[in-house]
Amino acid sequence: MTVNAYGAHAADKPLVALDIVRRAPGEHDVQIEIAYCGVCHSDLHTVRSEWPGTLYPCVPGHETVGRVSAVGAHVNRFKEGDLVGVGCMVDSCQACASCDEGLEQYCEGSGMVGTYNGPTLDAPGHTLGGYSQRIVVRDKFVGKVSHPEDQLAAVAPLLCAGITTWSPLKHWNVGPGKKVGVVGIGGLDHMGVKLAHALGAHTVAFTTSENKRADAKALGADEVVVSRNALEMDEHVGSFDMILNTVAASHDLDTYTRLLKRDGVLVLVGVPEHGHPSPSVYNLVSRRRAIAGSMIGGMAETQEMLDFCAEHGIVADIEMIPIQQIEDAYARMSRSDVKYRFVIDSASLATT
Ligand code: NAP
Ligand code: ZN
C-alpha cells in the first residue's frame, strides 16, 4: 500500500512530501493508522547526517501513536480500533540473552531494528518512520495505550522521551529518599522531571535557559539550577545519587560528576554530534563515582511506563504542528526553543 510521508533525500535537503510503500500485514504484524508523531532530536541528528550511516530517503519519526487498522492472523494482543504506540524499534533477533531479558534495544543477535534507518526486506531496504500515514510493525514492538483518547497527541512523546528517561530511572532504583538531577530541559528531560517526581525522588532540574526555571518547577522539579551559574551549582557538590543527562551538545561532564555523592552515577542518554571533552578521572576515583549510558528501553518496560503514566495522568507538554512546519520545528529545537515536544498532527499528511 502506498501512503503519504515526509522525508529528506539528502542531509542538506529539506524534508518534502514523499510516497512510500508499506507491506501488507504479515501473520504477526499490526497495521496502524498514525494519528500523531512526536519530533525527537534523534530525528534531526539522523536526517541531517549528524550521526554516521543515514540512508536516504530518510523518513524519521519514532514517537508514533494511532489506531490499529488491521492485524495478522496470529496477532492476539491487538484488534482493529485499539489505541497503540510504536517507539524507537520495530524488530530484534528474539533469541539472544538481551532479547530473552526483555531488553531488545541491546539485542546482540542481529541488533535491534530502528523504526527508521534500520535494515529491512521492505522497500527501499531500510525502515521508514512515523512521519507517515500508516506503519506496519511486528506485534511484539507495539505498546497498548490506555490513556483517554483526547490525550493521545500528548502520549506520543512517551514512546521515546518517556521510555528513554524511565528505563535508567528504574534501572538505578530512583524513588523516595533519592536525590536525582535531570540535565537539559528539552523533550527527553521534561519527561525525566515528571517521571522522577512521580517515582518519589527529590528532583533537581538543571537548565541553561533562565526562562525555563518556572516551567521546570511546574513539571515537578523540587529545585531548579541554572547550570551557567557557578554559585548555584556549588551548592549541590557531592549530593546526588544519580544525574540523568540528555544534553544534545558536547559539554564538560566534570560540571556534573563533581555533584555526585560517593557511588553516584551520571547517566548519559544524549548523543551529541561531537564528543564530550575527556572527563576528570580524579573526580571519579575520589568518590567511586561512575559515568554510564542508557539507550531507550525494552518492550516490557515500555508497556510498564505507558501503564504507569496512564495511571498517574502523566503525558508530555506538547506543541502541535502540521507536517508542513517540520523545518521550522527543527530550527527551534536546535536553539532549545521547544516547550517541550513538537508533535505532528498526522492528518496534515493527507494534504501533501
Ligand atoms: P531537545 O528537546 O533538543 O533537548 C535537549 C536539551 O538540552 C535542550 O532543550 C537544552 O535544555 C539542553 N541543551 C542544548 N544545548 C545545550 C548545551 N550546549 N549545553 C547544555 N545544555 C544544552 O532534545 P531531546 O529530543 O530531548 O534529545 C536529547 C538527546 O538525547 C539527543 O542527542 C537525542 O539524540 C538523544 N536521545 C537519546 C536516546 C537514547 O536512547 N539514549 C533516545 C532519544 C534521544 P536547557 O534549555 O534546559 O538547557
Ligand atoms: Zn527519540
Return the C-alpha cell found at 254.
Answer: 566534570
Q: What's the 40 CA to ligand 2 centre distance in angstroms?
A: 4
**What proportion of the chain, given as a percentage, has pLDDT over 90?**
97
Q: What's the 136 CA to ligand 1 centre distance in angstroms?
A: 29
CA separation for the pair 58, 295 (Å, rounded): 21
Same-domain pairing of 20 and 150: yes
Same-domain pairing of 126 and 272: no
Pocket test for ligand 1, best of 39, 164, 246 (most atoms within 8 A of CB): 246
Q: How many domains is the chain built from?
A: 2
Range of the domain at 118: 2-160+297-351
- State the pLDDT at residue 251: 96
- 295-307 pLDDT per residue, tens: 999 999 999 999 9
Mean pLDDT of the chain: 97
CA separation for the pair 139, 75 (Å, rounded): 7
The DSSP letter of residue 217 is: H
- State the pLDDT at residue 248: 87
Same-domain pairing of 201 and 343: no
- State the pLDDT at residue 242: 98
- State the pLDDT at residue 230: 96
CA 254, distance to chain mean position in Å, is 25
171: domain CATH number is 3.40.50.720
Please determine, for residue 170, whether its predicted confidence score (pLDDT) is greater than 90.
yes
In sequence order, the 6+-apart residues with CB closer than 8 A to the CB of 164 are 188, 246, 269, 294, 295, 296, 297
Q: What's the 270 CA to ligand 1 centre distance in angstroms?
A: 6
- State the pLDDT at residue 24: 97
Same-domain pairing of 304 and 257: no
Same-domain pairing of 42 and 134: yes
Q: What's the 244 CA to ligand 1 centre distance in angstroms?
A: 11
Same-domain pairing of 197 and 63: no
Pocket test for ligand 1, best of 37, 39, 41, 171 (most atoms within 8 A of CB): 41
Pocket around ligand 1 at a 6 A CB cut-off: 40-42, 45, 160, 164, 184-188, 207-209, 212, 246-249, 251, 269-272, 295-296, 333, 336, 338
Please determine, for residue 189, whether its predicted confidence score (pLDDT) is greater than 90.
yes
- Of 247, 277, 293, the residue that ends a domain is 293
- Of 258, 293, 328, the residue that ends a domain is 293
Span 11-23, average pLDDT: 97
- Of 261, 293, 325, the residue that ends a domain is 293
Q: Grid coordinates 511486528 are at which residue?
A: 138
Pocket test for ligand 1, best of 336, 342, 343 (most atoms within 8 A of CB): 336
The closest ligand to the CA of 115 turns out to be 2
pLDDT-derived band at 197 (thresholds 50, 70, 90) equals very high
Return the C-alpha cell found at 64.
Answer: 508514533
Same-domain pairing of 119 and 190: no
Same-domain pairing of 201 and 122: no
Please determine, for residue 14, whether its predicted confidence score (pLDDT) is greater than 90.
yes
Contact 153, 35 (CB under 8 A): yes
Pocket test for ligand 1, best of 271, 338, 343 (most atoms within 8 A of CB): 271
Same-domain pairing of 190 and 248: yes
- State the pLDDT at residue 45: 96
In sequence order, the 6+-apart residues with CB closer than 8 A to the CB of 6 are 15, 16, 17, 18, 59, 131, 132, 323, 326, 349, 352
- 172-182 pLDDT per residue, tens: 999 999 999 99
Q: What's the 146 CA to ligand 1 centre distance in angstroms?
A: 28
6: domain CATH number is 3.90.180.10
The atom of ligand 1 lying closest to the CA of 295 is 40
Give the residue whose CA is nearest to atom 1 of ligand 1. 186
Same-domain pairing of 174 and 251: yes
Q: What's the 214 CA to ligand 1 centre distance in angstroms?
A: 19
- 54-84 pLDDT per residue, tens: 999 999 999 999 999 999 999 999 999 999 9
pTM of the model: 0.97
Please determine, for residue 158, whether its predicted confidence score (pLDDT) is greater than 80.
yes
Span 110-123, average pLDDT: 97
- State the pLDDT at residue 352: 76
Same-domain pairing of 92 and 111: yes
Q: What's the 126 CA to ligand 2 centre distance in angstroms?
A: 18
Q: What's the 289 CA to ligand 2 centre distance in angstroms?
A: 27
Same-domain pairing of 11 and 145: yes
- State the pLDDT at residue 17: 98
